[in-house]
Structure 1
């Protein structure tokens, strides 16, 4: 007998809201079995949820995550999935490098403004 989980069990285990899981279901990222009003999650759903959450932590958009996760089941299969993922990792790293440079520039700008403010304040005292 394959283990199953309720939406509440998965939400608690992964630290997400029920609404988040329902949203991922609406987008087709996970497809739990429906038994009347109850959602029954199987191992496949659990793995896909874990992949979606990992993708979100890495900063990928949900449409990118959907493509990566869906590629495993469709053509070009796992190899295509991994090639696409590697491409997306490169794009994400470039985005993060730009953000890091922007943050460093902002910090330098703040340091300069702070220094001028302190000098002006000292002059006024």
Structure 2
């Protein structure tokens, strides 16, 4: 395991911009060691960044990520953090499932509208060149 990572190494590893890392630093989520103008990230900072990015992929806001991270730092620690994550993942899953139901309903409505148009076009003897593929 390495002692330190540079900002450039982390941007390459996680395919993110230096601006993103600086944003997380400004938000108080990361606190690298500074040597002059150089930022040196410890292994723990790298792991935090990995968890922040995972949280973002799951749809958590910066405030939610900060709350979970703060729970880990203070008692009751990891157990509370895990319960919070499970609760938030469940909430996010419900939101996404509702969006899926909404999209499926919208697609059914679009199919019905398209079919009605095609039927009417056939009745009028109009060609179907305008049909979307």
TM-score norm. by structure 1 comes to 0.93
Find the aligned partners of 1:17 and 1:123 in 2 and give their Cα distance.
56
Find the aligned partners of 2:78 and 2:90 in 1 and give their Cα distance.
18
**Aligned Cα root-mean-square deviation (Å):** 1.4
Find the aligned partners of 1:36 and 1:121 in 2 and give their Cα distance.
72
Q: For the pair shown, which has the larger CA radius of gyration, 1 or 2?
A: 2
List structure 1 segments (4+ residues) > 6 angstroms apart after TM superposition.
none
Find the aligned partners of 1:31 and 1:122 in 2 and give their Cα distance.
67
**Where does structure 1 lack aligned partners over 5 or more consecutive residues?**
none
Corresponding residue of 2:80: 80
Deviation at 1:70, TM superposition (A): 2.2
Are 2:131 and 1:120 equivalent residues in the alignment?
no
Find the aligned partners of 1:70 and 1:23 in 2 and give their Cα distance.
18
TM-score norm. by structure 2 comes to 0.88
1:78-113 CA-to-partner distances (Å, cap 9, x unmatched) read: 111111111111111111111111111111111111
Find the aligned partners of 1:51 and 1:33 in 2 and give their Cα distance.
19
Question: Larger helix proportion, structure 1 or 2?
Answer: 1
Are 2:102 and 1:102 equivalent residues in the alignment?
yes
CA contact (8 A) 1:51 1:69 kept: no
Find the aligned partners of 2:58 and 2:86 in 1 and give their Cα distance.
13
